[in-house]
Amino acid sequence: MFRMIRRRARADREWREAQRAGQEMLAMHAELPVPDLRDPVSGAATAAAPEAAVVPDFLPPDFRAPSRQDVAGFMMRWDQPLVIDGEVHACPTCGSYRDWVVFNMRDGAIWLRCRADHYALEPRLDSAWYNRNSGPADRYHPNLEDGLRHLGH
């Protein structure tokens, strides 16, 4: 039991370090096309004020897909139960098994966050798995909180 707590404390510490790195920038993968995403072209055309060009939500004209070096990590929603090695994965802290946010950090580590804000490293998943299961990244977030808010968490 002590070892489990210590291990969890270490995972928390690792998460905090990853989170600090995440303050740099996170990119979000939309799991499905999000209907409220504004088209940057039509959005600019209907914008009355010239300031609209610098609204952070707008994709820059020279937008390019972020590479792993550009961001602290990627994140996506995973609403349905997450099956790992043939088993439905449950949060080790509270037991919930759906409504995840999945992080793929720059170092390749996968972190899972449940609705109750528990974070856990998931060594059985990797960047290859993440890339297979995520859509293209469609926006940058300046910090973790902004990314979570955008994902509805």
Residues that bind Zn ion (CB under 5 A): 91, 93-94, 114, 116, 118
Residue 116 in contact with residue 110, Cβ under 8 Å? no
Least Cβ distance, residue 125 to Zn ion (angstroms): 17
Shortest gap between Cβ of 82 and Zn ion (angstroms)? 12
- Of 43 and 92, CB closest to Zn ion: 92
> How many Å apart are CA 121 and CA 138, to the nearest integer?
24
Closer by beta carbon to Zn ion, 88 or else 94:
94
Helix spans in 1-153 (H): 2-22, 40-46, 127-133, 144-150
Closest-CA residue to 119 (of 10, 23, 25, 12) = 12
CB of 146 to Zn ion, least distance (A): 22
Question: Which residue lies nearer to Zn ion by CB, 25 or 144?
Answer: 144
Residue 110 CB, shortest distance to Zn ion, in Å, is: 16
Beta strand extents in 1-153 (DSSP E only): 26-29, 73-78, 83-84, 87-88, 100-105, 110-113, 119-121, 137-141
Residue whose CB is less far from Zn ion, 106 or 118: 118
Nearer to Zn ion, 66 or 92 (CB): 92
3-state secondary structure of 6: helix
**Rounded CA gap, 11 and 3, in Å?**
12
CB of 152 to Zn ion, least distance (A): 17
